[in-house]
A and B are shown apart, each in its own frame.
Chain A
Amino acid sequence: MKTAVIKFPGTTCEVDVYKALLEAKVDAEIVKFKDFDPDKYEAVVLPGGFSFGDYLRAGSIAASTETMKKVKEMASEGKVVIGICNGFQILVESGLLEGALLPNLNLRFISKWVYIKVVRDDTVLTRGLDKKILRMPIAHAEGRYYHEDVEKAKSLAVFLYSDEFGNVSEKANPNGSLLNIAGIANEEGNVVGMMPHPERASFKLTSPTEETDGLLLFRGLSK
Chain B
Amino acid sequence: MLYYVELIIMNKDGVRDPEGETIQRYVVNRFTSEILETRAGKYLLFKVNANNQQEAENLVRKLAEEMRLYNPIVHKIEVKVIRSENGSN
Contacts and interface: CB of A to CB of B under 8 A. Distances in A.
B69 interface: yes
Given A99-B73, A100-B74, A148-B73, A106 B68 contact: no
Contacts, number: 33
Given A103-B18, A103-B19, A176-B16, A64 B71 contact: no
16 contacts: A56-B42, A56-B69, A57-B71, A64-B67, A93-B71, A100-B73, A102-B11, A103-B18, A104-B18, A107-B18, A107-B22, A146-B74, A147-B73, A148-B73, A176-B16, A176-B18
Contacts of A107: 18-19, 22
A3 interface: no
A100 B71 contact: yes
A129 interface: no
Interface residues of B, number: 13
Interface residues on A, range: 10 to 19
B36 interface: no
Interface of B: 11, 15-16, 18-19, 22, 42, 67-69, 71, 73-74
B67 A102 contact: no
Interface of A: 56-57, 60, 63-64, 93, 99-100, 102-107, 146-148, 176
Contacts of A176: 16, 18
Contacts of A63: 68
Nearest to B67: A64
A86 to B, nearest CB: 16
Contacts of B18: 103-107, 176
Nearest to A107: B18
A60 B68 contact: yes
Contacts of B74: 100, 102, 146
Contacts of A102: 11, 15, 74
Contacts of B11: 102
Given A60-B68, A63-B68, A102-B74, A146 B19 contact: no
A64 to B, nearest CB: 6
A93 B22 contact: no
A66 to B, nearest CB: 14
Given A100-B74, A146-B74, A105 B16 contact: yes
B68 A64 contact: yes
Given A103-B18, A105-B18, A148-B73, 17 more contacts: A56-B42, A60-B68, A63-B68, A64-B67, A64-B68, A93-B68, A100-B73, A100-B74, A102-B15, A104-B18, A105-B16, A107-B19, A107-B22, A146-B15, A146-B74, A147-B73, A176-B18
Contacts of B67: 64
Contacts of A146: 15, 73-74
Contacts of A99: 73
Nearest to A147: B73
